[in-house]
Amino acid sequence: MHDRPATRAGNGRTGFRRVVYDGAMILRRAGTTVLVALLCLGCKTSPKAEPHGEDAAPAPMRTFVFDAAPATRAVEPAADAGEVRDFADQFLYGEIDAGPGDPARLARTAYVSYWNPRFHFAVDVPTSFTAMPEPTNGDGMQWRLGALAAMTASGTYGLDVPISCPNSTNVTKHRSGKNTCWATGKKDGFVFWEHTVRKGDIDYSLRFQYAESLKEVMDPIVEHVSASWNP
């Protein structure tokens, strides 16, 4: 049996190690190349990262197209807070001359009931007053004692605005709420008294206007009529 030369055995191990080392280096270089290739491929195919936080751009504004505003029932604008409303002269209604009137009739007045079929309200009317021509729309009635006193009771469909009463410097007393307002005062030698109440979509009004010289005799009449008013 022959022994292998020591030098050959040593050279064989050295050669084997060289082969292994060289192979490992080749694989290492090849792996690096593949990794770089894959990374480059990822750079081309991976989606671009979106910025976020403070660096993010604002989202595009959505565009809306609005149709024309729906039709609504026309209403009168609400009275401006600074608008002054004064008492209206009831004697201008219908441009009717009711004559001079006799104040002595007020001392012996009685009452008859008036019923409005359109707005369904009732009120007592002094017999000393004379009925004026009824309006064609049937919204109420006015009664007068010549040119000395007038009383009007009426109804109207309420607008989409708050109830408003006179607020001028001629007003001496007033009281108001969400669905009611009352005011009284003096203007041009007459005493004015107005009360408006809103029920549902109807505004009911009761108004008086009479000469200041008749205040003492008219006060109990106004008290009686207003108590009988049933809107």
Q: How long a stretch of residues is the chain?
A: 231
The pLDDT of residue 82 is: 67
The pLDDT of residue 46 is: 45
- Whole-number percent of the chain with pLDDT over 70: 65
The pLDDT of residue 81 is: 52
Q: Which of 37-46, 52-61, 176-185 has the lowest mean pLDDT?
A: 52-61
Q: How confident is the model at residue 101 (pLDDT cuts 50, 70, 90)?
A: confident
The answer on pLDDT for 111 being more than 50 is yes
Q: What is the DSSP string of 104-156?
A: GGGGG--EEEEEETTTTEEEEEETTSEEPPPPTT-SEEEEEETTTEEEEEEEE
Q: Which of 40-44, 163-167, 187-191 has the lowest mean pLDDT?
A: 40-44
The answer on pLDDT for 177 being more than 50 is yes
Superfamily of domain 90-228: Mog1/PsbP, alpha/beta/alpha sandwich (3.40.1000.10)
The answer on pLDDT for 118 being more than 50 is yes
The pLDDT of residue 100 is: 73
Q: Which of 22-31, 90-99, 193-202, 213-222 has the lowest mean pLDDT?
A: 22-31
The structure's pTM equals: 0.64
The pLDDT of residue 154 is: 97
Q: What is the DSSP string of the chain?
A: --PPPHHHHHHHHHHHHHHHHHHHHHHHHHHHHHHHHHHHHHHHHSPPPPP-GGGSPPPPPPP--PPPPPP----PPPPPTT-------GGGGGG----S--GGGGGG--EEEEEETTTTEEEEEETTSEEPPPPTT-SEEEEEETTTEEEEEEEEEPPSS------STTEEEEEE-SSEEEEEEEETTEEEEEEEEEETTEEEEEEEEEEGGGHHHHHHHHHHHHHH-B-
What's the pLDDT tens digit per position in 119-175? 999 999 999 999 999 999 999 999 999 999 999 999 999 877 888 889 999 999 999
Q: How confident is the model at residue 64 (pLDDT cuts 50, 70, 90)?
A: very low
